[in-house]
Amino acid sequence: MMTPTLSLPESSDSAASQRFAVRILRRTKQNLFFVFAAVLVVSAPSLDAQTVFPATPVGNTATASVSVLLPSGGTVNTVEVLTMGVPNLDYTAASGGGSCSGQTFGANQSCSVSVAFGPQYPGVRNGAVVLLGSGNAVLGTTFLTGVGQGGLAIAVPGTISIAAGTEGQWTQLGDNQLATQADLYLPSGLALDGAGDLFIADSNHNRVREVIASGANKGNIITVAGDGDAGYNASATVAIDAPLNIPTSVAIDGAGNLYIADTNNNVIREVNLALGRSPPSPATRSPAFPAMAARQHPRC
C-alpha cells in the first residue's frame, strides 16, 4: 500500500497547505475494530511492499518467493496468503513454505514466503501475504499483483434484476435479512471482495452495507460501518457505532482492506475485512495506528 506524498510549493502557506489523512478500522473474523490516526502527510514512505507476478494463463501456475518486512519484529505464528482478503483463491502458499512461520525476527528484518499464483479468471488479480503474531497482531504485509491471461466473456442481451434494495423504498434499513427485502437510500458506490461479497456505499443512510455471497447467511445484508447518523466522532472506535457523513465510494485492496470515501467528513476510512486480524502494532504500518477495542459483529 503506497502512502501519498504531498509536495508543498515554496510560495504556499504551509499551515494552510497541510492535509491530514485518516485511516480507520480493523476487523477480525470474530471482531470488528476501528483504528484511528490523524497523520500529517508530507513525505512518508510506505512500509508495505509489493510483489508482481508475471502474466499467467488461467489454469497455469507461477511461483515466486515473496519477501515480507517485519518493521517491529516478533514471532510469526501464522502466515496468511490472501486474494482480495480471502484465502485459497488465486494466491496460495506453495510447497517449501518459506522462512517465516514459527520464527522470531528483530525489528526491520525480513523473511520469505513461497507463493503460487494460479489465476482463476482473466484480468488483474490482487492479493497479499500477511504475517500474524501473538493475538493475531499484524507483523508485516506484502501486497501481490498479477494478470490472468485468457478469453473474456462477451456481453449479450440479458435480463435485469435487483440485487439489493426495494424499488421506491428507502425509509427502513432492513439489516440481517435478504438484501432484496431491505432498503437503500441513494446507493452510490460498489466493491466486491475475493469471496464475492458486495459492499455498498449506502450514502443517505450514512452506512456501508455488505451483501453476503455464501454460507448460512447467503443473500443477507448487514451494516459493516456507520451508525446511521451524519457526523464524525473521533473517539468512536467500533465501526458500526461510528458515524459517517454521506459515504459515496468504496474499494478493496489485495489484503481485504475496505476503503470508504467519507465524503462530507473529507476523510478516507479503512476497514480490514481479512480473517484473523487484530490492530497492528504502532510501527507495522505507515501511518502508525494505536490499538483499539473490539466488539462482536453481527455477521460472525
Please write the tens of the pLDDT for every residue from 9-68. 344 343 333 333 333 333 333 333 333 333 323 333 344 689 999 999 999 999 999 999
Asked whether the beta carbons of 267 and 22 are under 8 A apart, the reply is yes
Spell out the residues 6+ positions from residue 172 whose beta carbon is closer than 8 angstroms to its own.
182, 183
Residue 131: burial class (beta carbons within 10 Å; 0-12, 13-18, 19+): buried
Alpha-carbon distance 50 to 41, whole Å? 21
Asked whether the beta carbons of 214 and 220 are under 8 A apart, the reply is no
Asked whether the beta carbons of 52 and 15 are under 8 A apart, the reply is no
| pLDDT level of residue 106 (50, 70, 90 thresholds) | very high
Spell out the residues 6+ positions from residue 236 whose beta carbon is closer than 8 angstroms to its own.
34, 227, 242, 243
Among the residues of the chain, which ranges form H helices?
14-17
pTM of the model: 0.71
